[in-house]
Structure 1
Amino acid sequence: MAGLYHNIFTDKQIENLFSAETQVSYMLAFERALANAEGTLGVIPADAAEVIAAVCRESKWNTEALAEQTLLAGNPAIPLVKMLTQRVAQRDTEAAKYVHFGATSQDVLDTALMLQLQAATTYITHKNNELQNQLAKLASAHRDTVMIGRTLLQQARPITFGYKVAGWLEALLRAGQGLEFAQQNTFALQLGGAVGTLATLGEHGPAVVTHVVEALGLAAPLLPWHSQRDRLVDFAAKLGILCGNLGKMAQDLTLLMQTEVGEVAEAAAPGKGGSSAMPHKRNPVSATFIVAIARRTPALVGTLLAGLAHHEQERAAGAWHAEWEVLPELVRLTAAALGHANDLISGLEVNAERMLRNLELTQGLIYAEDVTALLTPKLGKAEAHQLVEEASHRAQREGLHLRECLAQHFDIYKYLNNNTLEHVFDAHRATGLSQFFTDQVLARFHTSTSTT
């Protein structure tokens, strides 16, 4: 029975995709494609191939028995092939001799995993595209919404909220490119036999591989990859990066939701974000879940990366097995994070008025850099920096607005009149190229959607 936290860290569709029943169906898809290829090429009798393929289409395989027998066999392919052979023998004892001909357990399991990951990537890509679409709308809507930019958690200088959102969006666009690369290159057939040489199939081996690849819709590797696992590590890293990007977005929003900041909030709903002790609380929920997931995924990626060097010789003892639960868990977490992220952004409440008020918290200190830039041609950067620094310190010490201190500083004010100061302290002017960069990201997003 699943625990109380289970639904936070999973996705129902991905759970179904990595269920025992689905895994068995993909394993049988491999056996069916293998038999059909061998029958077509005359490696095994054509009528035997037909019987094997027909039995592979049957349903109601005893997954509980398979799981139990895996503890003794060492992997689930061995008991499944045994079950398959028994069923084929019930129809044709001669055909049963050719079940799983020329293949090995890892061929079955790795190929089934590739098919699962391929389907999972299609789903994750769809969820990522949904999120990109929402972020593009948000960035466009707030292209000119001015807020404070923060460095090292301190107020720095004005940006736009659209610019901040565009940063999240661009990261997801790159992640989407990584997923697209995986769909085209990563998910490759595994078929090598005992030590990867296809010795049993001999000269028919390449043709069998070609037929099976075409039947399953997987990429054709140059050679079997039983102990070369970089494909899987690369894919895991792509998911880890995607989750990290989602975590960065969620962490940013969580900080903007703080009471003292109050610039955004998650959508309100009955029972959402409350406190068992404090009735006034409105806690982040979806954002918190995403941050939690982003903290878990690096260790999963690390497990695969650490194992990369330990797939000894032609088949590994332990390193291969360590992948079995890690990859499905990483996929589940990624899909869950995307689900939470779509919920978060779809209902995000943006308080533009609070953003403007927060710009005034430092009483103009956020414009100190602009004042220095204006004085530099007159005084040189070092002297300009020193004078503005003196004025800034006085403003902080005496609780004055920086503009007031500048107007009272003779060595500064003689170069900056009231009109100039009014221009310098205009927040909408001080956002730099926020809108330009936002527009560039939105243009890239619209280009990517028009070509998919």
Structure 2
Amino acid sequence: MTPGLFDEILARGGVRDAVGDPAWLRALLEVEAALALAAADAGTLEPALAAGIADACSADRFDVGEIAADAAAAGNPVVPLVTELRAVVRTEVSDEAAAAVHRGATSQDVMDTASVLVARRALDVIAADLGTAADAAAVLARVHRDTPAAGRTLLQQAAPVTVGLRAAGWASGLDAAVVALRSWRPAAQLGGAVGTLAAFAGHGLAVRAAFARRLGLDEPVLAWHTERGRVAELAGVLGRAGAAVGSVSTDLVLLAQTEVGEVREDVPGRGGSSTLPHKRNPVGAISARAAAVAVPGLVAAVLNAASGHEYERAAGPWHAEWRPLRELLGTVGSGAAWLADALTHLALDPAAVAASLEVTGGLLLAENVATALRGRVDDPKGLVTVAASTSRDSGRAFADVLAEALHGTDVTRAEIDAALDPAAHVGESAALVDAFLAARSPSEDPA
């Protein structure tokens, strides 16, 4: 399939195929095959007829475009697909087998279960990409465990951290997102027209159990035609993954700014400008962030649709879920793929990291100085606050201003300089990184 104009930027990675029309068609047919085989398992359909139906559920026999065109008449694509499937089964198996196609189910049973299959496979791809990104961040944490860097709060330099601790924070958030994605429990949907299983003539529970088992899905106690908690939970875990991608990618974009320059994406030939020869844009981080920005709106669209289902089957809200759910899966997947690319190609500039520590002329360690002066002078915080203001306003080095303010005390210039050494004042960053790395295991591709 030829990618769309924006697909390589906004629909990157394996999720694009996992949620594409061919994947949906395969999932719908997989559901119809499982339904027939489950009927045989429950003793309500001859095994040979069920096998014939299952054999006919091959995606290469059907045209997605034709099914899409015919879907408008019924309001969903299951109706024309079942019509075509029955025609194939009638020709290749028998009239009796054709009559058994889709028996007992409603269109929503098939669509909901297919959506669960599509989502499950997409989540596997997303989790793998997020795991790759987390592993790359963990490598950075290990390699730069002791590299001091300027910590920033509210976009202002605050106090020293280490590159390793920051990267560990990235990995931790991504790991948590993977855990959340894998905690989602997909369930089959089978209730018939109004959730009573009436069309199964007393065999509905047995058929439903076999149906869920064949698809490897949880069996629900009741049909969830209008109880859309599972869909809302799926949107929630995808939203969490998008937030993790957004947080890390925003850091990368900011750290790659010309004025900061602490990191860059080391991918030859990527990041150029149409007019500016010197540009080297962090394309991976930018594209990951673009995906993350779009995620909350899609989550809201899914939740909004999920909240309005009425009675036993909804008129409109169910249909409204399809597109934003697919786009949500694809968008989070794109962000995860781009972030994995950005982090695996991330290069750190040690000189720029060190230079950032000197930008404030020592003010980055103001809090540490106030702590070091406790019990040595009266009102240490007040003294340091005035000295910091004087340094900032006059342009004089913070150490010189402090030495002047502390003249006549027993505090030496050597002690002042030691208190202003970033490498010596990163708290327990190393221990925190070590504890994090010891507690995690490298992500594994579930495929």
Distance 1:178 1:413, change over 3 A: farther
Instruction: Establish whether residue 325 from structure 1 lines up as the match of residue 323 from structure 2.
Output: yes
Instruction: Establish whether residue 421 from structure 1 lines up as the match of residue 419 from structure 2.
Output: no
Write the distance in 1 (CA, Å) between the matches of 2:284 and 2:327.
19
Instruction: Establish whether residue 388 from structure 1 lines up as the match of residue 384 from structure 2.
Output: yes
Contact 2:105 2:190 in 1 (8 A): yes
Contact 1:188 1:219 in 2 (8 A): yes
Distance 1:377 1:69, change over 3 A: same
Distance 1:450 1:123, change over 3 A: closer
Map of 2:125 onto structure 1 = 123
1:429 is displaced (CA, Å) by 1.1
Deviates more, 1:133-142 or 1:122-131: 122-131
Distance 1:58 1:305, change over 3 A: closer
User: Which of residues 281, 288, 297 is equivalent to 2:295?
Assistant: 297
Instruction: Establish whether residue 189 from structure 1 lines up as the match of residue 188 from structure 2.
Output: yes
1:337 is paired with a residue whose SS is helix
1:107 is displaced (CA, Å) by 0.6
Which digits, 9 at most, give the CA deviation of each residue in 1:12-46, with x for residues without a partner? 53233233333222222212221122123232344
Instruction: Establish whether residue 63 from structure 1 lines up as the match of residue 58 from structure 2.
Output: no
Instruction: Establish whether residue 228 from structure 1 lines up as the match of residue 227 from structure 2.
Output: yes
Distance 1:407 1:106, change over 3 A: same
Deviates more, 1:232-241 or 1:53-62: 53-62
Map of 1:441 onto structure 2 = 436
Write the distance in 1 (CA, Å) between the matches of 2:57 and 2:238.
32
Map of 1:267 onto structure 2 = 266
Structure 2 unaligned regions, length at least 5: none
Distance 1:256 1:21, change over 3 A: closer
2:151 is paired with a residue whose SS is strand
Write the distance in 1 (CA, Å) between the matches of 2:241 and 2:446.
21
TM-score, normalised to structure 2's length?
Answer: 0.94
Write the distance in 2 (CA, Å) between the matches of 1:43 and 1:413.
98
Map of 1:179 onto structure 2 = 181
Write the distance in 1 (CA, Å) between the matches of 2:37 and 2:446.
36
Write the distance in 2 (CA, Å) between the matches of 1:288 and 1:413.
53
Alignment coverage as a number of residue pairs: 445
Write the distance in 2 (CA, Å) between the matches of 1:222 and 1:229.
14
Q: Which amino acid aligns with 2:385?
A: E
Distance 1:361 1:41, change over 3 A: closer
Q: Which amino acid aligns with 1:203?
A: G
Q: Which amino acid aligns with 1:6?
A: D
Q: Which amino acid aligns with 1:70?
A: A
Which digits, 9 at most, give the CA deviation of each residue in 1:112-166, with x for residues without a partner? 1111111111222221221121111111111111110111111111110111111
In the TM superposition, 1:81-100 aligns within 5 A as 81-90=82-91, 91-100=93-102
Instruction: Establish whether residue 308 from structure 1 lines up as the match of residue 306 from structure 2.
Output: yes
Q: Which amino acid aligns with 2:250?
A: Q
Instruction: Establish whether residue 104 from structure 1 lines up as the match of residue 125 from structure 2.
Output: no
Deviates more, 1:345-354 or 1:11-20: 11-20
Write the distance in 2 (CA, Å) between the matches of 1:69 and 1:88.
19
1:236 is displaced (CA, Å) by 1.7
Let me know the Cα RMSD of the aligned residues.
Answer: 2.1
Write the distance in 1 (CA, Å) between the matches of 2:266 and 2:358.
27
2:172 is paired with a residue whose SS is helix
Write the distance in 1 (CA, Å) between the matches of 2:304 and 2:237.
16
Write the distance in 2 (CA, Å) between the matches of 1:198 and 1:431.
63
Q: Which amino acid aligns with 1:96?
A: A
Contact 1:35 1:99 in 2 (8 A): yes
1:418 is displaced (CA, Å) by 2.8
1:194 is displaced (CA, Å) by 0.4
Distance 1:15 1:291, change over 3 A: closer
Contact 2:19 2:329 in 1 (8 A): no
Write the distance in 2 (CA, Å) between the matches of 1:220 and 1:316.
22
TM-score, normalised to structure 1's length?
Answer: 0.93
Map of 1:406 onto structure 2 = 402
Map of 1:215 onto structure 2 = 214
Q: Which amino acid aligns with 2:260?
A: V
